[in-house]
Structure 1
Amino acid sequence: MEPKIYPNTMKVFSSLFLLLVFQLSSACGWSVEPETSRLALFKAERAGFFKLTPFYYSADLYYSTNTISTIDWDVNCKEWQKKLGETVKPEDVYTILYETNSELIESAFENKTLQTAFPKNTFIQALLKSKNKAYLNYIVFAKKIEYSSSQEVQWESWGNIGYGNQNHALPDLGSFDKKINSAKDDFLKQRYAFLYLRFSFYAGDKNQVIKLYDTYFTKESNTILKPWALYYRALCITDFPMQNYLLSKVFVSCEEKSFAVLQHYNWKLKNETLALAQNDAERSAILTIESLRNPAPDLETLKKIHELNPNSLYLSFLIGREINKLEDWLLTPQYTNNGTPSVVFDSMSWYDNYAKAKAENYTKDIFYLRQVRDFLISIHDKTSGEQRDYLSAAIAQILFLNDEIDLGKKYTAMISSNANSSIQMQKNMLLALVSLKQDDLKNEKVQNQLYTYFNSIENLAEKDNGLFKNLYSLYRIASDEFYKKGDTVLAGLLNMKSDIKNEGGYSVYDSPYFYSYIGYFDRHATTEDIDRLIALQKKDDKTPFEKYLCTGTIASDVNYYKDLKGTIAFRNNNLELAYETFASMPKDFWDKNYEYKNYLNENPFTPKILQKQEERKFDYHFNKTDFIAKLIQLKKQNTASSNLQLAHAYFNVSYLGNSWMMSAYDWTSGSSYVDYIYGDNSANEKKYQNENYYNLKMAKLYYKKALKMSKNNNEKAMASLMIFECNYYGYYADFIDDNRPAFKAGKELRDFYSVYSKTSIFKKYDCPLLSSFIN
């Protein structure tokens, strides 16, 4: 039977918040949960790993999963088949026991309509035979208890299939004894006893639980009921080392209770629990449980487990868990924008001196990685079969992390062609990583081979959503490698692919919109890169690799990219290219897209800093093409008046102005949600228009030109006042944390209060706050 899947609620951020957090970003930074951002490449699995799913390495206490194993239920169904005959199909037993609500069964039994209610169910057909009346009565009795009780005591079910009804009459305790005593075989006695035992557990009668287990479940038996019953018995004793020991026996003997075992396991009693173990296999199981929630380096435990049980399935799982730790510690700081691993032991050190902490941790983690590498290589030749394939993949992954690519290729080649699909997937992951590091990424053949590797993993991810984390990590590394080798376009598309695969944690691509398509390029691309991106968007004969990368990542509206190209040109003071680009776009583009009409809606030639709130008008029709055309015209005029208008314009396209969206797509960088996804953009913003965006250098340049050229005292007064404003805000926006002396007003402000004190501009803008700077 397939694993049962339950819906789970993903933690997501609405794309509505993506960029509209400008004013908030300086107050409190955006972040996502560490488990969302961490990188993980290794996900090879062996048969039997499924029950261990909650114990994959995670930033959280347990790995998030929406699947549970039904193997125990399948075993129970086969036990019924064995009892009633081969004509009974296990899937029909499953339908009745685990997918049919109790009220329906009880009602059909009382109305003698079971045959018509389940006309083709072989389990019901067998139960209706006269010789099987006792088994039918048992099923009805069990369903009656399920219906009468809370969901926690549903019969043989960990899920929710009934309609718990506390008002429905429960059988009295004498009914349990009577049913057990009247049962003719051990099969029914144990099942009635299990009903009684579980009922007693939830009723708080621990002594009865222990008595029932000791009476009916201690003898040799391979029924699935035995470990289920042992789980409840273990929870009824107060000897915690013994409780741990019994829980460890439950852990290895059934699937359903593995998660519950770790929830109830008593930690810090390892030695006392190990003292109760009867053999190496039991000691190995106890050490496994102890390791499954340990977020720290745990190689010594792996070595002990190997000594006790070298072929242990759990050893393989713990090796994979150790690799995932190393991936988090080494890769997450390198490839994510938050820069810290998901589990940080001395968290304050990352804030006190990030560079030092990062370097120290890297040195420590690489040393530990090499210890793990040496151990795995030392045991590799002693393994065989699936475990050898798994170990080959694990060693190759460790070698990749240590940048030992050629040796990693050797172990990758050791993975047999008969390895299971999960290990084959890991092999393709490894081959992709090797290619990204060693091959010519501009070569079409190499790119198409990468597509083959990527696609093979994508196909498996359709069945195992847990692989989205691995695809997110792989594409993040691929993006970085393409960028380092000079291909910003493909790097950007791979970066978007990475976020798409990140399980909804902070991906905005489920509902792509304007900035989703340009965020990476806004930070990394040149105008030439945008030309190549546009050419790729328009390309009809895309290669398989290009088709794959463009799917879901490239904007259908080429004007998204043109707008970015024009914006980059404007940042670079290339007004001619900016004009040419914007002029090729629809005139109403900025009326219909993104947030332009909400933020580009004021006169850019009136300095915002001098306006009172009640004076501001938000009815200005802003067109980027027209705006650039006027700047070009004003520069050609080169008069005092034209330079003053240019100065106002450049003031307003800074982060202090009313038209900052001419230069940037979000107001300021460093702590906003969009920065978390695409990286802090502060360093780039500081360079916009020769440092105008924060430091107002272009604005001040033109104010100085206007002051020098003007013959009009009002113009001179305005220029002097605005030079002071540029100096003041530029001084405090300089991102320098030092012991500089306090800001001092310059000659321009003194002239404003002396030379130009009779002007109308002075009378309009004089205020006590300004005058305080010259006192």
Structure 2
Amino acid sequence: MKSLNWKKSLIFCVSFFAVFFGEVAVNIACGPEQDPYDYYVSYFHNNVQGDDYKPFAFNGMLFLNSEHDVWEEKDVNSAEWAKYLGVKLKDVRKIMYELDSASNAKLKKSSFKWTTSLPDSLKNNSFLIAINKNQAALNYYKLLKQCEPMISHNADSWTEPIVDSVFLMKNADKNLVAISNFKDDFLKLRYAYQIQRMYRYAGNLQQSKVVYEKFIVNNPSSSAVKGWAMSQYAGILRADGKIDEAAFLFSKVFSNNPERRIMAYRNYFWTDAKMKDVLRLAKTDREKANIWGINGFRKPDSDIEHLKEVYNCEPNHPLVSALLIREVNKLEQNLLEKSKLALNFVDALNDQWQYYAKNQDSLKTANLKHLQTIKSFVLEMASNQKYQQQGFANITAAYLSWMGNKEDAAIKYLDKVDVNKLSPKFKDQFRITDLLIRANQLKKGNKFDENSLLPTLKWLDEKRFAENKKQWLGDWNNYTPNDGSFPFSQTTRDFYQQILAPAYAKNGDTASAALAMLKGDLEYKTVQSRTFKILMSYQTYVFWHQALSEKTLQQLAQLKQKKSSRTLNGFLIESLNSTSSDDFYELQGTSYIRSHQYANAIQCFNKLSKNFKFWTNDIGEWDNKVEKLRIVGAYYANPFIETIKDSPKKYVKNNNGINKKVFAQEMLRLQKLIISDAKNTSKYYYQMANAIYQTGEFGNAWYFISYDSKVFEHPEFSYNYNNDYQLATTAKTWYIKARELSKDPNFKAKCTYMIAKCEQKKIIKAYKNLTWVDSDDYEKDREIQLAKFKQMMNSNAHYNELKQYAKTPFYKTAVNECSYLRDFLKGK
């Protein structure tokens, strides 16, 4: 291989860093992404007022919090038909909306008539039986089946419906003549709606409008169909350029038709009408409130104007609570800081790279000011006798006070609440707020009866268990994504991981912090898999596997043996019983390897079950036939080998049987030989130093002390094994001892070379911690960093020490194999 000179080597090295870290930045920007339903800490549930406006709850990552209306049009229409005919709702829904293609074909073949030849699933359907006894209803259903494919969205959204304009016009004209003779308002309204749609899809917009104005708008029925027809009419007005009128009608559909609310919301804004112009058309306070409300839902930033206006129009309008909760959730996003103890993967990336750095102080000041504004308004609501949710207002004031660290005020407002008069969901929010206020004592480190939290925590457990029926076992085909329907699961987890665990950690009780982190993840009443990988969230897994020392794990092992007690501590300890004993003792043994207590490590590994398999660095290959990853081999470790270069890592192709337990046994043997075989002590130190070096992130046995080859440092806790994993500190110490105890120049050369490599790890670490100059001149900035890096690398005096061993065989081998060393010694 052709030798690279120093300058070229340096440019390559730093260019690699630039590309590598640049790719990390791109990965952060392009993925992975935050869960849009769980990206900020929230204890104030966005559906506490009910689910009517759930799609419009605050979500800073999505246009709508949900793309699905709370009410389904299928159910609304089926319910009206069921009431009209006196039949079962589920039977209506099945015939109208849920028939499979075979059953639908059979019905068509029979002209939708009930016959004895129909299968039992149809023959016994109460809706089908009823419409066969009502000729007008049957005729309507036939018309619906004929025209529906041309005037409705196809189930396949990529397929454009084929519209037969002549057919639609002919049927519309025919039924328009007949409709005047109808005396049944229920059917007359539905016929008119279908005629309206047929004219519209056939392109006769003017006649579609006429039908609405003549037969629908004044129909005495209170059916939801009137709202659907109004939406059709508003669409035509928009096409005619009457955007203010169209927007006003869409606002009415938004208010009166929850099954069409999302569509009405979108249509309202697609008109591009200005709110002030739409408000001029409103005749009642409720109509004005709806217009203010629909516009308020589009405000992603702090906003009180729309909330106040809705409240002034109609204090007890459901929109008041919905808009108020949005503002509280915005404040949570902006003010409730995530504990660095419990950052999820994306947050950990952002924190490591400070990719989304903000001017925190100015933002916090602005948000605290808005918090006070909202709180003042809420207190005004609480004192208004006309407002019927004074309890909710006081709960909100208490919660906002808690957010603003005004504990005494929070207690005062909560004391004003008559819990017996609250709705079930308001009672839930009361209990959560009360828990947060009392837990403040823990955050402050004050002495108080922490067991008083236990009843509420047990209640929260039952709440989240109800949300999570069956444990996910790692099968992505059966994974249920978060859709915002797990508020108690997130509240409970955040309480343990964002409040309780950091409080314990701050007070120096790392074991309790670990238990709280674990408890936060136990969201299933019945645990099927107890493995750490399945049970633990990313943040808990990282905390346990990176931050817990052997002393903390020994403390947890002792707690694991304790009998359950009716205390908060006992409640947390119970969570240990949900975990795999194998995973626990494997981790504890690993912690002893990290601290070089090999006898203790072996004791822990001896507690593992007979069938336990240590993790191996498997090689995976995607199998397209079964669409699964197939293991085709592994990179096996041999930490006792000698290496000149770190890259590529020198793995072993065949399984040599060396795992963590075998490693600990061999290291213990070498430790004992240092004492018993004094004349070969230098050799034993060298062998141990090699082994420790290979367990660093640059070695082939990195997974003997770490659980990820490239991990970000925990922002709250330093790796208790970082000195070995990244800095090779112990290896350097033992190489120095080995060199001191030997008289062999060639052996000393080996030790000196490895000492220099260990020192190099510190230099690379220091280089990564340098702050880049933030300017527009990238080339200049890079040159500055290159100069700093070269200066730091030249400061490694141990490479110069190698010159005294220039005549040794190892020196020649190292210079021949390591181009960097060769160029360094030449002064390039």
Q: TM-score scaled to structure 1, two decimals?
A: 0.81
Pairing 1:762–2:811 present: yes
In the alignment, the residues of structure 1 paired with residue 259 and residue 382 of structure 2 have an alpha-carbon distance, to the nearest angstrom, of 32
Deviation for aligned residue 1:653: 2.0
Does structure 1 retain, via aligned residues, the 8 Å contact 2:398–2:414? Answer: yes
Residues 1:565 and 2:588 are matched in the alignment: yes
Q: Residue 367 in 1 paired to residue 400 in 2?
A: no
How far apart are residue 373 of structure 1 and its match?
1.0
Cα distance change of structure 1 residues 547 and 190 upon mapping to structure 2, 3 Å threshold: farther
Contact 1:37 1:332 in 2 (8 A): no
In the alignment, is the contact (CA less than 8 A) between 2:398 and 2:413 conserved in 1? yes
Structure 1: which amino acid aligns with 2:517? N
Tell me the distance in 1 between the aligned counterparts of 2:25 and 2:72. 52
Tell me the residue number matched to 2:770: 737
One of 681, 702, 705 as aligned partner of 1:660: 702
User: What's the secondary structure of 2:43's corresponding residue?
Assistant: coil
Inter-partner Cα distance in structure 1 for 2:113 and 2:410: 68
Q: Aligned pair 1:321/2:370, yes or no?
A: no
Report the equivalent of 2:639: 604
Aligned to 2:213, what secondary structure does the other structure show?
helix
Q: Give the distance between the partners of 1:540 and 1:630, measured in 2 at CA.
A: 37
Whether 1:626 aligns to 2:632 is no
**Which ranges in structure 1 are unaligned for 5 or more consecutive residues?**
1-20, 154-158
Amino acid at match of 1:752: L
- Contact 2:635–2:652, Cα closer than 8 Å, also in 1: no
> 1:411 & 1:684 partners in 2: Cα distance?
41
Bigger shift: residues 206-215 or 321-330: 206-215
Contact 1:569 1:577 in 2 (8 A): yes
Which residue does 2:775 correspond to in 1? none
Q: Name the aligned partner's letter for residue 522 of structure 1.
A: H
The aligned counterpart of 1:477 is 495
Partner of 1:232: 232
Q: Where does 1:568-579 land on structure 2 (aligned, <5 Å)?
A: 568-579=591-602
> 1:577-726 to 2 correspondence within 5 Å?
577-585=600-608, 589=612, 591-593=613-615, 595=617, 601-610=636-645, 617-619=652-654, 620-622=656-658, 623-633=662-672, 635-636=674-675, 639-670=681-712, 679-680=714-715, 684-685=718-719, 688=721, 691-726=723-758
1:136: how far off? 1.8
CA distance in 1, matches of 2:135, 2:721: 85
Please state if 1:446 is matched with 2:468: no
2:800 to 750, 759, 762: 750
**Structure 1 residues 132-171: aligned runs within 5 Å:** 132-146=134-148, 148-149=149-150, 151-152=152-153, 171=167
- 1:88, 1:123 within 8 Å by CA — same for their partners in 2? yes
Return the letter of the residue paired with 2:437: V
Q: Quick check: 1:127–1:133 contact (8 Å CA) kept in 2?
A: yes
* Superposition deviation, residue 533 in structure 1: 3.1
The Cα shift of 1:290 comes to 0.8
Aligned counterparts of 1:50 and 1:625: Cα–Cα separation in 2: 57
Equivalent AA in structure 2 for residue 136 of structure 1 = L
> 1:234-274 CA distances to partner (integer Å, 9 max, x unpaired)?
11222222221111111112111110012222257222222
Change (3 A) 1:410 1:72: farther
Pairwise mapping of residues 461-610 of structure 1 onto structure 2 (< 5 A)? 461=467, 466-483=484-501, 484-485=503-504, 487-496=509-518, 498=520, 512=534, 518-538=541-561, 541=564, 556-585=579-608, 589=612, 591-593=613-615, 595=617, 601-610=636-645
Equivalent position of 1:191 in the other structure: 190
Distance 1:390 1:105, change over 3 A: farther
Displacement of 1:192 in angstroms is: 1.5
Instruction: Indicate the SS of the match to 1:51.
Output: coil
Inter-partner Cα distance in structure 2 for 1:644 and 1:495: 40
Cα pair distance change 1:415/1:408, threshold 3 Å: farther
- Cα distance, 1:31–1:436 mapped onto 2, change above 3 Å: farther
Q: CA deviation at 1:195?
A: 0.9
SS, match of residue 743 in structure 1: helix
Distance 1:201 1:168, change over 3 A: closer
In structure 2, do the counterparts of structure 1 residues 574 and 384 end up closer, same or farther at CA, with 3 Å as the change threshold? farther
Once the two structures are TM-superposed, the CA of residue 460 in structure 1 deviates from its matched residue by: 5.5
1:556–1:380 distance in 2 versus 1, CA, 3 Å: closer
Alpha-carbon deviation of 1:664? Answer: 1.5
- 2 CA distance for matches of 1:81 and 1:235? 30
Deviation at 1:663, TM superposition (A): 2.3
Q: Distance in 1 between matches of 2:815 and 2:367?
A: 61
> Quick one: distance in 2 between partners of 1:633 and 1:578?
15
In structure 2, give the amino acid aligned to 1:291. Answer: G
Q: 1:422 to 1:160 in 2, by over 3 A?
A: farther
Q: CA deviation at 1:282?
A: 1.6
Q: Which amino acid aligns with 1:174?
A: K
Mapped contact 2:165–2:202 kept (Cα < 8 A): no
Structure 1 residues 615, 319: closer, same or farther in 2, change over 3 A? closer
Q: Distance in 2 between matches of 1:513 and 1:593?
A: 18
Which amino acid in structure 2 is aligned with residue 197 of structure 1?
A: Q
Of residues 744-753 and 429-438 in structure 1, the stretch that sits farther from structure 2 once superposed is 744-753
Q: Percent identity?
A: 22
SS at match of 1:57: coil
Distance in 2, matches of 1:192 and 1:720, equals 94
Which AA in structure 1 matches 2:718? N
- Residue 471 of structure 1 aligns with an amino acid whose one-letter code is S
Q: What RMSD, in angstroms, separates the aligned Cα atoms of the two structures?
A: 4.3
Task: State the match for 1:244 in structure 2.
Answer: 247
Distance 1:203 1:412, change over 3 A: farther
Q: Please, which of 175, 178, 181 is the counterpart of residue 179 of structure 1?
A: 175
- Report the AA paired with residue 178 of structure 1: K
For 1:54, the aligned partner's letter is P
What aligned pairs does 1:334-483 form with structure 2 within 5 A after superposition? Answer: 334=339, 337=343, 351=354, 354=357, 357-383=359-385, 387-413=389-415, 414-438=417-441, 445-446=451-452, 448-458=454-464, 461=467, 466-483=484-501
Q: Please give the alpha-carbon distance, in whole angstroms, between the structure 1 residues aligned to 2:734 and 2:91.
A: 84
Tell me what 1:218 maps to.
217
- Counterpart-to-counterpart distance in 2, 1:454 and 1:763: 68
Unaligned runs of 5+ in 2: 1-19, 470-481, 620-632, 772-784
Between stretches 328-337 and 135-144, larger displacement belongs to 328-337
Distance of 2:642 and 2:453 partners within structure 1 = 51
The one-letter code sitting in structure 1 at the alignment partner of 2:663 is K
The verdict on how the C-alpha distance between 1:39 and 1:611 changes in structure 2, with shifts beyond 3 A counting, is closer
Change in 2 beyond 3 A, CA 1:659/1:72: closer
**Native 8 Å contact 2:735 2:752 kept in 1:** yes
Once the two structures are superposed, residues 131-158 of structure 1 have per-residue CA deviations (whole angstroms, 9 ceiling, x without a partner) of: x322221122212323x447517xxxxx
TM-score normalised according to structure 2 size? 0.76
Which amino acid is the alignment partner of residue 253 of structure 1? Answer: N
**Alpha-carbon distance, 1:201 to partner:** 3.6
Are 1:46 and 1:387, in contact at CA under 8 Å, matched by a contact in 2? Answer: no
Aligned-partner SS, 2:805: coil
Cα distance in structure 1, aligned partners of 2:347 and 2:276: 31
Q: Deviations over 1:214-252 (max 9, x none)?
A: 222222632322111111111122222222111111111
**CA 1:33–1:584: 2 relative to 1, 3 Å:** closer
Question: What is the Cα deviation at residue 629 of structure 1?
Answer: 0.8
Aligned equivalent of 1:156? none
Counterpart residue identity of residue 369, structure 2: F
Structure 1 range deviating more: 384-393 or 758-767:
384-393
CA deviation string 1:115-140 (max 9, x = no partner): 966555444444333xx322221122
Structure 2 counterpart of 1:476, which letter? D
CA distance in 1, matches of 2:204, 2:164: 21
Structure 1 residues 52 and 700, CA, compared in 2 at 3 Å: closer, same or farther?
A: same
Distance in 1 (CA, whole Å) between partners of 2:196 and 2:799 is 88
